[in-house]
Amino acid sequence: MTAGTTDDTPTPQPDFGPVLSRRTLLRGAGAGATALGAGWLLDACSSGLKGGSSGSGKKTITIGFVSPQTGPLAGFALSDNYVVDTIRKSSAFSKGIKVGSKTYDVNIVVADSQSDPNRASQVAKQLITSNKVDMILVTSTPEVTNPVASVCESQGVPCVSTVVPWESWYFGRGAKQGTTFQYTTMFFFGLAEFGKTFIPMWDRIPNNKKVAEMFPNDADGTAFRQGWPPLLQPKGYTGVDGGAYADGTTDYTAMISKFKSEQCEIYVNGPLPPDFNVFWKQAAQQGFKPKLATVAKVLLFPADVVALGDLVINIATDAWWTPTMPYKSSIDGTTAQQLGDNFTQATGKQWVQSLGSTYSLFEVAYNAFTKASDPHDAKDVADKLRTMNYTGMCGALNFGGGPVPGVGIMKPAGVQWKKGTGKFPYDLKIVDNSANPDAPIEGDLEPTNA
Amino acid sequence: MNWINAIAQGLLLGGLYALFACGLSLLFGVVGIINLAHGDLAVLGGYVAVAILPSVHTNALWALLFVPPIFGAFGYVSQRTLLQRSLENGPLTTLLVTFGLSVVLQNALLEGFSADSHSLSIGKLATQALRINSQLSISYLRFGILVVAVVVLAGVQLLLARTSVGRQIRAVADDNEAAAISGVNTRHIAGIATGIAFVTVAIAGLANGMYSQFTPTSGSSLLLFAFEAVIIGGLGSLWGTLAGGCVLGLAGTIGAQIDSTMGTLIPHLVFLAVLAVRPSGFFPARAPA
């Protein structure tokens, strides 16, 4: 599979001509092997030399961008190609980034992680050794961001991640409280913000304060299982853990029975989207009907929502960006509303939250490069990332003021899926802005099951 | 009551497993092919529905009308062209050929449909259920799948036992050369048997698409469950396959009831235990089928 890995760098293929005899095939294969071997050596040399003599007249900044464009997580990456195109066309990037007195051309190389952690670290290595990227931007769940960030940290390449709870990103890579990653940074939010978004919504629906928790046995699930109880207790809620099930489980009878016998009226989760599809259908079949379902990691995007149909109405989740938030681009002043509208106009698809976060990745990269003294000086660029403090498409982000160094915190809004009133079958409406007072309320919070 | 529900859901899930295992059991018991591409063929069935459905009807149940016949023809042709040749080269060749077919199918689907997951929509039927009491409810979809599994298995059984084609298929399975001497067109008959097996694979693939979601690479886990059901039930025995599927389903739901982290592990442990204690399965076939 070579699809989507390198947008801009065609791989030269030996041309065997019309007649392919056994001999020419063997010769060709031999030549190919030699070329591969040589390439490998060159890669090794150049990465060895990297930090030392980078200013050899190269006037291009290369940015690698990794997201899960295919596979179970593909919903997260739906708008990524559109955003990359928009960024490429924006005057700030198309005219080149000015660093000091020099102007650098910008080359953005897009890679697909195929929703597979091994593939993600593979493409990150490829971007570093073959494309010689100056920075890697990566988005969407720890399965993508963590392997890429780990490669970047060990190879000394500046990296910005997003759309991953910071706990999964930080502790998931073996950090202890006090650890500082030198090259890798991120912006998104964490469990505290999930709590600040979800609990005020629970409080508004009269319930028995029993919370059904569906957390799988993976990076996010483990972080959630440890992180939710301390948030619940002070507010008087009790969690009922459904158990650390394996991703890809085909039957949730035991978990549903447990939630029903404990009479849980609130539901919170952190599963993979296909697993939630099976669970939520089965919950409906077996009559588990929580008064309010607040989901994380799933139903963030219209594609998942359509697959479940009317079962999604009044399920609540978090939104880290909507077109109605009063934010605008720090590089060319495009408003959030314009970004959303332009996306719908260009693709015919409904806006998605990742439009904002992916856009901000490039804003952060732009800001770091313009502040650095030399864009090829990885240490300097990474310094600028760790102290990043700016206001843009996702509001104010301060990488120096987060819970751990190099982590910027976004403020999500509480949203619910409602029956669509316009062009699309379901609309995402802001129903609670306790965690982000900037967000305008667009609808009433209603129980998932009355 | 939770236990009764776990048992009920396990049996229903067993229907899906048995439906998957039916084609595998038939192809092995009658034609003598261990089909490693079985799971991928089921997934292919789902994708054929995804490709053709929009032009037929939005409800995926309609796919049951056209996907299985397409697969029947596909099965007959692939037996006559690909599988028969490999069969004449010995059992190892068929293993390699079907393994190759599996790799080709997965990658062709990746190219054609990308790695995105799909689901077959059957509207409200997907979530409606018969409420027996507050703890026990029987999903129409899952019950429907179990019924289809029983009907398919009974149909195949009847066909083999009562019809002239069935007699010829059994004759070919028993002794290929003797059947040929008696005037049976053995290749044609093996083609028909493979066609029937492929029809059941297509039905299983569609059922799986309605039950959950599928991607080009989800075939291997389906193959695993089908294999385990066949081995637990006894190679080549169709009713044993149903029993095997139900044992697997029950092991999963009861295992999860004991400890939710065990839901995926226990069925595999049960399979290993059966292999160790009774390698020929619970209902080993005396004669094929």
Residue pLDDT, tens place only, A349-361:
899 999 999 999 9
Whether A17 has a pLDDT exceeding 50, the answer reads no
Percent of chain A with pLDDT strictly greater than 70: 87
Domain A192-319+412-432 part of CATH 3.40.50.2300:
yes
- Residues of A at the B interface (Cβ-Cβ below 8 Å)? 1, 3, 70-72, 74, 114-115, 217, 242-246, 248-255, 257-258, 260-261, 273-274, 277-278, 281-282, 284-287, 307, 309, 311
Q: What integer pLDDT is reported at residue A450 of this predicted model?
A: 75
pLDDT(A25) > 50:
no
Chain A: closest CA distance from residue B243 (Å) = 19
Q: In whole angstroms, what is the distance from residue B224 CA to residue A307 CA?
A: 26
Domains in chain B: ranges and CATH: 2-277 (1.10.3470)
Average per-residue pLDDT in chain B?
Answer: 89
Q: Is the pLDDT of residue A23 over 80?
A: no
Contact A152, A145 (CB under 8 A): no
Give the number of residues written for chain B. Answer: 289
**Is the Cβ of B263 closer than 8 Å to some Cβ of chain A?**
yes
Dihedral (CA of A165, A195, A306, B10) sign = positive
- What letter does residue B264 receive in the DSSP assignment? T
* Nearest residue in A to B216, CA atom: A71
A110-120 tens-digit pLDDT: 999 988 899 99
The single residue listed with the structure tokens 């029903």 is: A260
A364 Cβ neighbours under 8 A, 6+ residues apart:
A137, A160, A187, A385, A388, A390, A397
Sequence ranges of the domains in chain A: 60-189+324-409, 192-319+412-432
Pairwise CB contact (< 8 Å): A261 & B2? yes
Check whether A230 has a pLDDT greater than 90.
yes
Residue A384 has pLDDT above 60, yes or no: yes
Q: What is the predicted pLDDT for the residue at B126? A: 81
Q: Determine the pLDDT at residue A57.
A: 52
CB contact under 8 Å between A71 and B126, yes or no, is: no
**Nearest beta carbon to residue B139 from set A245, A248, A285:** A285
User: What is the average pLDDT across A171-183?
Assistant: 90
Q: Is A284 in Cβ contact with B253 (below 8 Å)?
A: no
Q: What is the mean pLDDT of residues B211-215?
A: 83
Beta strands in B98-202 (DSSP E): 129-131, 137-139
Which residues of chain B are within 8 Å of residue A242 when distances are taken between CB atoms?
A: 260
Residue at A87: amino acid letter: I
State chain A's mean pLDDT as an integer: 86
Nearest to A285 among B137, B252, B264 (CB): B137
Q: Which residue of B has its CA nearest to A75?
A: B116
Alpha carbon dihedral A304, A305, A308, A312, in 10-degree steps, equals 140
Question: Percentage of residues in chain B with pLDDT exceeding 90?
Answer: 54
State the nearest Cα–Cα gap between A420 and chain B, in angstroms. 18
pLDDT for res A32: 42
Please answer yes or no on whether B212 and A251 come within 8 Å at the CB atom: no
pLDDT at A70: 80
Answer whether A60-189+324-409 and A192-319+412-432 agree in fold.
Answer: yes
Contact A97, A327 (CB under 8 A): no
pLDDT of res. A297? 86
pLDDT > 80? residue A291? yes
Average pLDDT over every residue of B26-32: 85
B237 touches chain A (CB under 8 A): no
Token pair belonging to A223: 């972080």
Residues of B in contact with A144 (CB under 8 A): none
pLDDT band of B2, cuts 50, 70, 90: confident
Residue A2 clears pLDDT 60, i.e. is over it: no
B260–A307 CB contact, under 8 Å: no
| pLDDT for residue B90 is more than 60 | yes
Strands (E), B91-214: 129-131, 137-139
Of residues B260 and A212, which shows the higher confidence score? A212
In chain A, residues with a C-beta closer than 8 Å to the C-beta of B259 are 243
How far apart are alpha carbons B129 and B143 in whole angstroms? 9
* pLDDT band at B286; cut points 50, 70, 90: low
Q: CA neighbours within 13 Å on the CB side: how many for B139?
A: 29
A–B interface: beta-carbon pairs under 8 A = 117
More confident residue, A153 or A15: A153
Least confident of A274-283, A401-410, B74-83, B277-286: B277-286
Model confidence at A29: pLDDT above 80: no
Helix (H, G, I), strand (E, B) or coil at A268: strand
Instruction: Measure the CA dihedral B16/B17/B23/B26, to 10°.
Output: -130
pLDDT per position as a tens digit, B48-59: 999 998 877 778
pLDDT at position B211:
86
Residue range A60-189+324-409 forms a domain whose CATH class is: alpha beta
Q: What is the ipTM of this complex?
A: 0.81
B123 interaction partners in chain A (CB closer than 8 Å): 309
Q: What pLDDT is recorded for position A410?
A: 96
Secondary structure class of B150 (helix, strand, coil): helix
**pLDDT for B222:** 86
Q: Is A405 exposed, middle or buried (0-12, 13-18, 19+ CB in 10 A)?
A: middle
Best residue in A119, A213, A215, A253 for a mutation probing chain B (most B CBs within 10 Å): A253
In 3D space, the residue among B197, B182, B145, B167 whose CA is nearest the CA of residue B21 turns out to be: B197
Per CB-CB distance under 8 Å, the chain B contacts of A249 are 256, 263-264
Q: Does B246 touch chain A (CB under 8 A)?
A: no
Q: Which residues lie below 8 Å from residue A239, measured CB to CB, with a gap of 6+? A: A211, A213, A228, A229, A232
Of A70, A261, A286, the CB nearest to B129: A286
Q: Do A253 and B127 touch (CB under 8 A)?
A: no
Q: Is there a contact between B2 and A71 if contact means CB atoms under 8 Å apart?
A: no
B209 inside 8 A of chain A by CB: no
pLDDT tens for B118-150 read 888 888 888 888 888 877 889 999 999 999 999
Neighbours of B162 (CB within 10 A): 10
Neighbour tally for B217: CB within 10 Å: 18
Q: Return the pLDDT at A9.
A: 43
Task: With cut-offs at 50, 70 and 90, classify the pLDDT of residue B285.
Answer: low
Output A223 or B14, whichever has higher pLDDT.
B14
Compare CB distances from A254 to B110, B135, B253 and report the shortest one's residue: B253
Phi, psi of B88 (to 5 degrees): -70, -15
Q: Per the CB < 8 Å rule, is A286 touching B13?
A: no
